[in-house]
A = this chain, B = another copy of it.
Amino acid sequence: MAHEWQTKISRVMDGKVIIRGYSHEKLIGDYSYAEGVFLTLRGSLPTKAEARMTDAMLNSLLDHGFVAASVLAARYAASGNPQLVPGTAAGLLTAGSNTISPQHSAEFLERAVKQMRDEKLSLEETAKKVVAQVRAERRRIPGLGHPTHKGDDFRAVKLRAIAAECGFVGDKVRMFEAIHAEFLRSTGKQGICINVDGMLGALMSEMGFRPLQMAAVALLAVLPGIMAHVIEEIEEGKPLRIVRDEDCDYLGEPERPFP
């Protein structure tokens, strides 16, 4: 009878582990972490270009200080409970529909590229249709805009340059750029960049990552900063951070008698 637990990821034996079919022993030291991550998540070893691109992506979110909700959640948690693991978990739990989720851009772009093919449109025609529809529905385009980086998001730009060298600039990246251009043109807005989350989604889509695998890479990419901040909070922060009552607004019911 089958056991309760089954996996295709690794086989553990006395004195040996194989990961996706490869000896774990050899992976230690002979392969980079970027290659180990790719293998563990995707199931096969990366090519040289995939390994280089993955390593660059893993370094693309190293830290963004307090301009990151995840760091603030992590440091508030650590100011009450000064330990690495709970603070780091609080930071991680901040990753969701509004941040650290390249998969949303990827899914958006994959739908646009599918529409282009299904309807036999050009990039520009598709971008026009997509932007018009998003604006009509008053939705956001995932992966556009950043609170600090108004011109370019240098992380997106650098990743795009590496992707060009590695051969990962394809339909999704070009669609993103066409949609971005059309968005700026049609709205007349300025200071709206393709942000790093969006570029990560586009590139991982080009590389064949599935949405959950994309999210996993993004989590690894933000963790060095989250953990450095938790450690800094424990070692140099305040024992219990609060916001003083005079610095908040109460907008609720005025005091009332009990019934």
Contact surface of A with B, Cβ cutoff 8 Å:
2-29, 31-34, 36-37, 39-41, 43, 45, 52, 55-56, 58-60, 62-70, 72-77, 79-90, 92-100, 147-152, 154-155, 158-159, 161-162, 212-213, 215-216, 219-220, 223-225, 227-232, 234-236, 239-245, 247-256, 258-259
Contact = CB atoms under 8 A, between A and B. Distances in A.
A147 B45 CA distance: 29
Contacts of A6: 248-251
Residue in A32, A34, A90 whose Cβ sees the most chain B Cβ within 10 Å: A90
Nearest to A36: B59
Contacts of A216: 84, 88, 224, 227-228, 231
A162 B30 CA distance: 10
Contact of A240 (B25, B75, B98): B98
A242 B21 CA distance: 22
B67 A81 contact: no
Contact of A245 (B13, B89, B159, B229): B13
12 contacts: A7-B65, A7-B249, A7-B251, A15-B149, A17-B65, A32-B33, A33-B58, A73-B73, A77-B93, A98-B240, A216-B231, A220-B224
Contact of A81 (B45, B72, B96, B252): B96
Quickly give the copy total for this chain.
4
Given A5-B249, A65-B7, A258-B22, A98 B79 contact: yes
Nearest to A94: B80
Contact of A9 (B52, B99, B219, B229): B229
Given A15-B151, A28-B159, 14 more contacts: A11-B245, A16-B154, A29-B162, A40-B225, A69-B77, A70-B76, A81-B85, A82-B97, A85-B215, A86-B86, A86-B89, A90-B93, A148-B245, A212-B230
Residue in A69, A152, A159, A230 whose Cβ sees the most chain B Cβ within 10 Å: A69
Given A36-B62, A62-B36, A80-B73, A252 B88 contact: no
B86 A147 contact: no
A169 to B, nearest CB: 15
